[in-house]
Amino acid sequence: MIQSILFVCTGNVFRSVAAEYAVRAQSGPQSCYRVESAGIKASPQSVPLVVCHPLIQKGIDPSAHIPRALTKELIDRVDLMIAMSLNHREFIQRQFGLTAPLFNEVAFGKDTPILDLHEALPDWERDLVQARDYVQSVINHIWESVPTLMARLPQFPGHRGPVQP
């Protein structure tokens, strides 16, 4: 039975944070799930304002969040890792020999990634309004997907054990 979830993205300041905080907010204080997040390339930095503002509008303040790197110790204390994108899933498989479904796979049965800003908009710095709108759309997608994701969690086994060939 899944009791703890770890969302994984790149820097642990956008997609995985949005997922972690959205699940916490929508599950409430009586939730039976422990929810965390980490990044495959996390480094000390603040959650960008473009990420904070949409979450604050939803009643969540991630400004005190401290990015964490994905480690074996962190993995060992959770039941299920959920990757936000394909490169995260591949990193988990390559580095730790474990499988991790994608967020959209858990929520909707779709093997589609949630792209980072630079993946979706390679020239994002040229149009900051478009960049802000993309970040908002990702946060909205994650937020709106949480009820479905939580309902489908029992269908997903934990990651204990090696990847099957």
CATH for 104 = 3.40.50.2300
Summary mean pLDDT of the chain: 91
Position 161 in a domain: no
Dist CA 64 CA 97 (whole Å): 32
Q: Would you place residue 30 in the very low, low, confident or very high pLDDT band (cuts 50, 70, 90)?
A: confident
- Please state the domain count of the chain: 1
Q: Does 14 score more than 70 pLDDT?
A: yes
Q: Is the pTM of this model over 0.85?
A: yes
Separation of alpha carbons 151 and 148, rounded Å: 5
* Tens digit of each residue's pLDDT (9 = 90 or more) over 97-131: 999 999 999 999 999 999 999 999 999 999 999 99
Q: What is the pLDDT of residue 33?
A: 86
Provide the domain limits for residue 134.
4-154
Position 160 in a domain: no
Is 11 a domain residue?
A: yes
Amino acid 162: pLDDT: 39
Is the residue at 117 inside a domain?
yes
- Residue 162 counted as domain residue: no
Q: What is the model's pLDDT at position 36?
A: 95
User: Percent helix, strand, coil in the chain (nearest 5)?
Assistant: 50, 10, 40
Domain-embedded: residue 9: yes
Residues 11/44, Cβ–Cβ less than 8 Å:
no
Q: How far apart, in whole angstroms, are the C-alpha atoms of residue 55 and residue 50?
A: 9
Domain-located, residue 115? yes
In this structure, is residue 165 part of a structural domain? no
